[in-house]
Amino acid sequence: MELIGQGIVKALEMLVSGDGELWRIAWLTLRVSGTATFLSVILGIPVGVLLALTRFRIRGFTVSVVYAGMGLPPVVVGLVVSILLWRSGPLGDLGLIYTPTAMIIAQTLIATPIVTGLTMSGIQQLHPKLHLQILALGASRWQLFGLLIREARLAIIASVIAGFGRVIAEVGASMMVGANIVGETRVLTTAMVLEVNKGHFDIAIALSIVLMLLIWLVITLLTRLQQGGRPL
Amino acid sequence: MSPLLDARNITVKRGGRTVVNAAHLTIEPGEVLAVIGPNGAGKSSLLHALALLLPVSFGEYRWMGRPVNLPQEALALRREMAVVFQEALLLDGSVLENAGLGLKLRGQAASAWRPAAQAMLDRLGIGHLAKRSARQLSGGEAQRVSIARALATKPRLLCLDEPFGALDVLARHALLKDLKGLLASEGTAAFFVTHDFTEIPPMADRVAVIDQGQILQIGTPHEVFNQPATPLVRDLVQVAHDLVRTLQRAE
């Protein structure tokens, strides 16, 4: 208990004193996970809508791959991205290993199946004739997609919340492709691992409080968006 | 004058099975063509095909006498039509926003679609509901909004897929009467799928009987009821005959 008390005191000290390193790490965490979530939205929502609306030969297999991807272990993603970006790997010439970009790539791969799978099930929960009704009202394909996304927005924003929650909390992939380099690729989760290994539990508790605050802030904003007004 | 719609060799396949295989169907401008048939006969699939909502093969599809190039012209042609389904299928938003959705999708500004949608809601007797959420309507009110949404776009052809099927008899009767009046005043043609014989005489100029995807007979309601062309048509109209006889006996 004393340890936790010391940790909270330390956390308050770091927060109140405006510890530069702490805010840098927090900002990088938000930038990496926010960008990865944004990219997963760009990729996952259109694919989820298409999977919900179209029928093709290997659709069942594709859906099973997406759902399996929702449980993809971050260390497996970290391993694959490391192999691809390794200096002697197929994309080694890009020089991305141990950079925030590598971490964004890994986290995008983790979040995209979550956004895709939950978007697909959200669209499938709408009335099966709704897309016919929208088409019959004179909608183009793009207008149809826009209206279906709007109708399923509660589920889709929930998918974004789930995707963001998964990547901001992961540590395995970020550690493997980012290497936890101070001032460059250190994020809140990898910094916590390091501080615990060094026995600095008070700093680790301070970092965890900042991480939880960050998650709470972003999830609250997304939830407000989800539950807000519902004009057409 | 050319028919509004003239379709030949209409084939719809689902899961490798042919569900519609109709040789020839025409709809004249302003006429109401009712389609009846047993469950699973292909009535709704035929409607979806004519409204260009399904992947469908046409031998020929003419609109106002002009051959239509499908699927390239499908969107332009869908904007000449409207469809009302059995369920109202309203979207999240106000009644007015729902009624104006078809006009918005055609690129109309709010200053144009709002008064047009309000006018159509007024004509269907639900203008006072304009600001209400579409989620808070009764079944009859919701279906009136759905019809207002369809008619607000001023379609040349209104496709009705059992639009009164989910309504109680009083709501059905009132809506049937209003719809008939609106179609007549606007000069809108209708393709009206129903399984209820009592809806045909007040609505339809002609009746098509369909079974297993094929059109068995087309004619005026009087012709089809009094001169059924096949045993199945005779069985279908027998219900109506029995009803008339029962009423006559009661009198």
The more confident residue out of B136 and A8 is B136
Task: State whether residue B71 sits within 8 Å of chain A by CB.
Answer: no
Judge: A232–B93 Cβ closer than 8 Å, yes or no. yes
Report the mean per-residue pLDDT for chain B: 90
Number of Cβ pairs closer than 8 Å across A and B? Answer: 60
8 A C-beta contact, residue A108 and residue A43: yes
- Residue B166 clears pLDDT 90, i.e. is over it: no
CB B149 within 8 A of CB B96: no
Q: Between A102 and B169, where is the model more confident?
A: A102
Is the pLDDT score of B1 beyond 80?
no
Which has more pLDDT, B14 or B52? B52
Question: B51: nearest CA in chain A?
Answer: A136
Residue among A36, A23, A71, A10 at smallest CA distance from A177: A36
Q: What is the pLDDT of residue B109?
A: 96
Top-confidence range, B37-41, B52-56, B216-220: B216-220
The answer to whether the CB atoms of A232 and B98 lie below 8 A apart is yes
Confidence of residue A31 (pLDDT cuts 50, 70, 90): very high
Percentage with pLDDT > 70 across chain A: 97
Alpha helices in chain B (DSSP H): 43-50, 74-78, 95-99, 101-105, 110-123, 139-151, 169-186, 200-203, 221-226, 231-250
Residue B81 contacts A where some CB pair is shorter than 8 Å: yes
d(CA A124, CA A114) in angstroms, rounded, equals: 15
Task: Tell me if A232 and B53 make a contact (CB, 8 A cut-off).
Answer: no
The question of ipTM being above 0.85 is answered as: yes
pLDDT the model gives residue B239: 75
Across the interface, whether the CB atoms of B94 and A143 are under 8 A apart is answered no
Nearest chain B Cα to A57, which residue?
B15
Among A119, A224, A161, A143, smallest CA distance to B78 is for A143
Is pLDDT at A229 greater than 70 in this prediction? no
Contact yes or no for A132 and B78 at CB 8 A? no
The pTM assigned to this predicted structure is 0.86
Express each pLDDT in A150-174 by its tens digit.
999 999 999 999 999 999 999 999 9
Reply yes or no on whether the pLDDT at B160 is more than 50.
Answer: yes
Q: What is the pLDDT of residue A144?
A: 96
Are B101 and A137 an interchain contact pair (Cβ–Cβ within 8 Å)?
Answer: yes
pLDDT surpasses 50 at A231: no
Q: Enumerate the residues of chain A whose CB falls inside 8 A of the CB of residue B153.
A: 137-138
| Residue A91: φ, ψ to 5° | -115, 20
pLDDT band at B192 (very low <50, low <70, confident <90, very high): very high
pLDDT tens-digit map of A86-110: 999 999 999 999 999 999 999 999 9
Residues of A in contact with B105 (CB under 8 A): 137-140, 143
Q: For B92-117, how does the pLDDT look when each residue is reduced to its tens digit (9 = 90+)?
A: 999 999 999 999 999 999 999 999 99
Task: Residue B190: name the closest of B143, B150, B225 by CA.
Answer: B150
Decide: helix, strand or coil at residue B149: helix
Q: Is the pLDDT of residue A230 over 60?
A: no
Contact B148, B124 (CB under 8 A): yes
- For B140, other C-beta atoms within 10 Å of its C-beta total 18
pLDDT over 70 at A85, yes or no: yes
Q: Mean per-residue pLDDT for B121-137?
A: 94
Q: pLDDT, tens digit, for every residue of A61-81?
A: 999 999 999 999 999 999 999
- CB-based contact, B159 to chain A, within 8 Å: yes
Give the residue on A whose Cα is nearest the Cα of B15.
A55
What mean pLDDT is predicted for residues A9-19? 80
What percent of chain B has a predicted confidence (pLDDT) above 70?
100
- Element at B63 (helix H, strand E): strand B57-63
